[in-house]
Amino acid sequence: MNLPDWAARYKRAVVANVADVAALARQFLPELGSSATQLTAAMIMTVGAVWTHARPSPAMLAAYDADPSLTAFKLDFVTALQEMLATLTAGAIARASA
């Protein structure tokens, strides 16, 4: 299988997963309506971004040690994810209700 085929296979799986999670979101938050798909996609992207930032590289850890003021943006994965997902969800509900 060539690279474009793998990429297409991956993207199809992502689209299916987003649809499944969006259906689950609509089940618990029916007020989302069609916004559930957009919210789900944003949530998945947020998980990846928060995970990356909450697990700094050895070089960033060394930078934190050298200059503790840089830790102002150091994230705890669970706390940051909960806060960001709550904000995304509240915003999606507000937009869907407008």
- Contacts of residue 41, Cβ cutoff 8 Å, sequence gap at least 6: 18
Question: What does the mean pLDDT of the chain come to?
Answer: 93
pTM metric for this prediction: 0.79
Q: What is the distance between the alpha carbons of residues 39 and 22, in angstroms, rounded to a whole number?
A: 8
Q: What is the distance between the alpha carbons of residues 40 and 24, in angstroms, rounded to a whole number?
A: 10
**Each residue's pLDDT tens digit, 8-49:** 999 999 999 999 999 999 999 999 998 999 999 999 999 999
- Residue 72: what pLDDT? 85
70: closest CA among 84, 51, 56? 56
